[in-house]
A and B are shown apart, each in its own frame.
Chain A
Amino acid sequence: MSSELEAVIGLEIHVQLSTRTKMFCGCELSFGDEPNVHTCPVCLAHPGVLPVPNEEAIRYALKIGMALECEIAPRSIFHRKNYFYPDNPKAYQISQYDIPLAVDGRLGDIRIHRAHLEEDAAKMIHVGDSGRIHGSGASLVDFNRGGTPLVEVVTEPDLRSAAEAAEWARLLRETVRQLDVSDVNMEEGSLRVDANVSVRPSGSEELGTKTELKNMNSFRFLERGVEAELQRQRELIEAGGTVEQETLHFDPSDGTLTSLRSKEEAHDYRYFPEPDLVPLAPTEEMLREARESLPELPAARIERYEEQMGLEAEPAKFLASDPGLGGYFEEACRVAGAEVGPGGGGVEPRVVANWITGDLTATLRQRGDEEDFADPTVSAEDLAALVLMVTEKKISHGSGKAVLAALVVEGGDPAAIVEREGLAQISDAGELESIVAAAVEANPEAAEQIKAGNQKAIGAIVGAVMKETKGRADGGEVNRLILEQLGD
């Protein structure tokens, strides 16, 4: 039954910009300082103060808008969103409403509805009773964070599973990280993801009633939260119920979803154009500057790796996730390809990719270090040389792994390691033939089984040859010789 209900998910992502100062005043941004040390009359909304926008925040927002392939509004304006809450000192948040900075973009396969600028709220900490005369408790407000520039990115409801939502959110984080406009740290709250979740009969074009999920401060929680909510909605509908529009809080400790009781009256934010701020009309120069500062972003890089370099989706994503890693991969490809030269066929990028995503990553991971591919343990040139030796059958794949292990530990020249360890492949056909013959003789049981048609038994004889040659034999060639000698 549940497979007939399709998931429809949209995300709203708040990105705290890593400018030096707040959105509308010159107070410094900080994280983890003692409360209320970064405040002034403006960000505490004293009487008579006025906001003045931070030009760097505008620049960062333009970069995000462009990276998400949005149209940049020629003239956007700020609005006031009115609501009372202690973390909202003016009792209105300066945000953008009907004319946001950026609209109609896309990242990967997911359409971006809009991206707009706004300011962050302050932080509230519930402190229980703390000696107050009345009521059941109190909260403390810390305005250090209040007024931090935010870009809110809203997707179209294009995501179709919890896993896809989490994976896309990772891509967005990586994209924003590479723009160098935010710390994008979910735990610290510099990247916050809310999800709008609904289900509908497969094939339907209509949207079901959605719920909004908040407080998923990791990608894992995002996936689990959305999954839990999808399941709840499916069960509800299958039992004949209807989904109610509400905001839900996900508790990662037990996986439960709690409805945040809506305030006693429906939200009515009474948006109107912010009279204290003039329109934002990005000049040609502002646009050009933002455009020119954009690096090649993960989505574009993945596409290039897949389409031009012939990589599978997984390694493409992996290698494109980090610009240092991507650069390393491309440099190794260039070196490996160039040395073979025209007509030599070169090394296929996917082979280089396999070495990086497989052996190199595994070896490095065993060492437990975070590898910085901008300053790698094994240089791209050395890796390329190694891959070339294997591809050209100068050494076996097994020897190649051994050389890589040595390179990771001690560095040096791969060719010299091959020389020193005597790993060069046995190229003398006569020598290899006699070693194979000896191995066949030493394993009569396996030989009989192979003759009887059990190809799996060949492993024992290959193993014996490899042991004898210390891995310097070409596996394919050994196989061929065994079968030949057994009269195939």
Chain B
Amino acid sequence: MSELLELTVAQAARGIANGEIAPDEYFEAWRMAAATDDLNAYLWRAEDGVGAEGPLAGVPVAVKDIFCTEGMPTTAGSRILEAYVPPYTSTAVRHLREAGAGVLGKTNMDEFAMGSSNENSAYGPVLNPWDRGRVPGGSSGGSAAVVAGGLAPCAIGTDTGGSIRQPASLCGIVGMKPTYGAISRYGMIAFASSLDQCGPLTRDVTDAALLLGAMEGRDPCDSTSVGIEGGVELPSREGLEGVRFAVPAELAHDAIEPGVRTVFEETLKTIERLGGEISEVPLPHAEHGISAYYVIAPAEASSNLARYDGVRYGMRVEGGGDLIEMYESTRAEGFGDEVKRRIMLGTYALSSGYYEAYYGRAQKVRTKIAADFDAAFAQFDFVVTPTSPSVAFKLGEKTDDPLAMYMNDFFTVPMPLAGIPAISIPAGLATPEGGGPRLPVGFQIAAPAFAEQRLLDAAYALEQGIGFDAKPGGDD
């Protein structure tokens, strides 16, 4: 059984296709593994397997609890949806099923995807399998932890400001945010509609390509979906000869943990060793990404989360009086602190007299950030940064300082603001500030819109060059 768990998804799928592996046996092996979850990473686990036919036949996928799944609880990490079972299934999950995959379980997450540490889940924090005293990142912390911790072969999550890439980085796995519109958002509980995008969290780049290929596509239920023209092929590129990588010029001054900076610089050398070219490019507005993001995302969230009003589904607290009391009591008890904070921030930013100063300006900053990327991609193939300024931090370390927590997203927010794809791959280990066992560091590669195939090919070649093979609990 345990050899089955060693396989990547692509390897297992090949074995299943060849008849060497029985799909139900494979699924069952993972179901048993998932049952050992001691990271608080799953909120719900499947009782039985699925997996009929298709390229992903028998492949179990851990699904962030933000995707609606008919007949399975879907909470978005919130008390307000505690007993909610959706009457329909999200398009992304439906596509995975149509490819033969099955839902292994629903993974824990920051409430409504708001967070960078998974400490904002109403169902308790997820622990980082590398160090249980540390966070796995967020908001797709459960999805990252189950893949890193050997509790699932692969997972899907959502990324609004870094929610796939940052936890992938902190857990030492691959996480990819595709171009906005590549995968349907239908059935993905909305946080910030103009930024949210679904993507894979996997052991390696090949598996990411496999899941992306199964999920992408134009969906008549999502007006903003496009799909990826020509689909996605499994990457096979060798070397990076002639590929032009650009490092933001501003990076030299950015607050980055020394260990993370070291791994980043080593990775740049690996790129050069593989034949790639490294240059600097100015991205002068990227530093305003956090500001723009923390206006736009909360503003949209304040509207998206207004539907949780105790009328049609989910939790209701009567409050002992009239309608307004019911609304206010339900929302006061149903939402956690961070969600309330962002609803407040977003409501304020949209309110009369402040719209132009905040939302209006943030949207213009967005235009400038996108223009910076356009200019960079006119000269270079990819823009690269560390995924996160730090390795996994300690549980509770940043919970009292929202702004410090928000700064975790410094390198990941500009891409969703511009709508472009980016991938985080594990690049090495670094000692955290303050000491302790070494922890994974992610390397982020961003590409122009809909250049997923090129991005995956380059990430694959770099992945081979880096040869990261550390595992949680390993000797290191």
CB–CB under 8 A between A and B in the complex? yes
**CB contact list, A34-68 vs B, under 8 A:** 41, 44-53
Measured in the bound complex, the distance between the Cα atoms of B193 and A51 in whole Å is 12
A53 with B303, Cβ < 8 A, contacts A46-B86, A48-B86, A89-B311 known: no
B107 contacts the other chain (CB 8 A): no
* Interface 0/1 of A271-299, CB less than 8 Å to B: 11001111000000000000000000000
Complex interface: stretch among A80-88, A223-231, A353-361, A427-435: A80-88
Within 8 A of A (CB), among B172-222: 185-190, 192-194, 220-222
Tally A residues with Cβ within 8 Å of B: 33
Question: What residues of B have a CB within 8 angstroms of the CB of A89 in the complex?
Answer: 307, 311-312
Residues A91 and B222 in contact, CB atoms below 8 Å apart: no
Which one, A41, A44, A275, contacts B193 given CB within 8 A?
A275
- The reply to whether A48 and B186 form a contact with Cβ atoms under 8 Å apart is yes
- The residues in B between 74 and 119 inclusive whose CB is less than 8 angstroms from any CB of A are 74, 76, 81, 84, 86-88, 90
Q: How big is the B interface, by class? A: 35 or more
Q: State the CA gap A90–B68 with chains docked (Å).
A: 17
Question: Which residues of A in the span 375-400 have a Cβ within 8 Å of any Cβ on B?
Answer: none
> A92 at interface (Cβ–Cβ under 8 A)?
yes
Complex partner residue of A47 from B68, B320, B355, CB under 8 angstroms: B68
8 Å CB contact of B311 from A82, A86, A277, A278? A86
Whether A268 lies near B189 (C-beta < 8 A) is: no
Is A456 located at the chain interface by the 8 A CB criterion?
Answer: no
Judged by a CB distance under 8 angstroms, whether B418 is at the interface is no
Partner of B303, one of A49, A50, A86, A92: A92
B343-369 interface mask toward A, CB cutoff 8 Å, 1 = contact, 0 = none? 000010011100100010000000000
CB-based contact A134/B320 at 8 Å: yes
Residues of chain B within 8 A of A50, CB atoms compared: 185-186, 221-224
Those of B300-357 within 8 Å (CB) of chain A: 300, 302-303, 306-307, 309, 311-313, 318, 320-324, 327, 347, 350-352, 355
Q: Give the residues from 78 to 119 in chain A that come closer than 8 angstroms, CB to CB, to chain B.
A: 80, 82, 84, 86, 89-92
From A51, A86, A91, A271, residue with most partner B Cβ within 10 Å: A91
Q: Does A476 contact B (CB under 8 A)?
A: no
Taking a contact as CB atoms under 8 Å apart, the answer to whether B223 and A46 are in contact is: no
**Nearest chain-A residue to B222 (Cβ)?**
A50
B299 within 8 A of A: yes
Cα-based distance from A409 to B56 in the complex (angstroms): 79
A342 within 8 A of B: no
Q: Select the residue from B66, B76, B311 with max chain A CB neighbours within 10 A.
A: B311
- Contact in complex: A91, B307 (CB < 8 Å): yes
Provide the bound-state CA to CA distance between A91 and B359, in Å: 19
Q: A134-B320, A272-B303, A272-B355 are in contact. Are A141 and B311 (CB under 8 A)?
A: yes
Query: Which of A41, A86, A268, A270 touches B87 (beta carbons < 8 Å)?
Result: A41
A134 B318 Cβ-Cβ under 8 A: yes
Return chain A residues, CB-CB under 8 Å to B74.
Answer: 47
* Inter-chain contacts of B189 with A (CB < 8 A): 47-48
Name which residue of chain A comes closest to B185, CB basis.
Answer: A50
Q: Do B68 and A48 touch (CB < 8 A)?
A: yes
A80 touches B303 (CB 8 A): yes
Cβ contacts under 8 Å, A53 to chain B: 223
For B309, the chain A residues whose CB sits under 8 A away are 84, 86, 91
Shortest distance in angstroms between A291's beta carbon and chain B's nearest beta carbon? 26
Question: In the complex, which residues of chain B have a beta carbon less than 8 angstroms from the beta carbon of A134?
Answer: 318, 320-321
Q: Is the CB of A277 within 8 A of B223?
A: yes
Beta-carbon contact of B86 and A272 below 8 Å: no
**Closest chain B CB from A344 CB (angstroms):** 64
Most chain B CB atoms below 10 A, which of A45, A133, A264: A45
A32 CB within 8 Å of chain B: no
A270 near B190 with CB under 8 A, answer: no
Complex formed: what's the CA distance from A84 to B193 in Å? 20
A368 interface contact, C-beta 8 A:
no
Taken together as a complex, chains A and B put the C-alpha atoms of A268 and B327 apart, in Å, by 17
Nearest to B194 among chain A residues (CB) is A275
Contacts of B223 in A (CB 8 A): 50-53, 276-278
**Bound Cα distance from A272 to B221, whole angstroms:** 22
Q: Answer whether residue A135 sits at the interface, using C-beta atoms and an 8 A cutoff.
A: yes
Partner of A270 from the list B66, B90, B351 (CB cut-off 8 Å) is B351
Would A49 and B321 count as touching, CB distance under 8 A?
A: no
B300 touches A275 (CB 8 A): yes
A-B contact pairs, 27 of them (CB 8 A): A44-B312, A44-B313, A45-B312, A46-B68, A46-B86, A46-B88, A47-B189, A47-B307, A49-B88, A50-B223, A51-B223, A52-B222, A53-B223, A82-B350, A84-B327, A86-B323, A89-B307, A89-B312, A91-B303, A91-B307, A133-B318, A135-B321, A270-B351, A270-B352, A271-B350, A275-B224, A276-B224
Query: Contact residues of B with A, CB < 8 Å?
Result: 66-68, 74, 76, 81, 84, 86-88, 90, 185-190, 192-194, 220-224, 299-300, 302-303, 306-307, 309, 311-313, 318, 320-324, 327, 347, 350-352, 355, 359
Task: Give the 10 A-B CB pairs with smallest separation, nearest first.
Answer: A91-B306, A275-B194, A270-B350, A275-B193, A47-B189, A48-B187, A48-B68, A45-B307, A48-B189, A268-B352
| Given A82-B306, A276-B190, A278-B223, 8 additional A-B pairs, CB 8 A | A47-B86, A48-B187, A48-B188, A52-B221, A52-B223, A90-B306, A272-B350, A275-B192
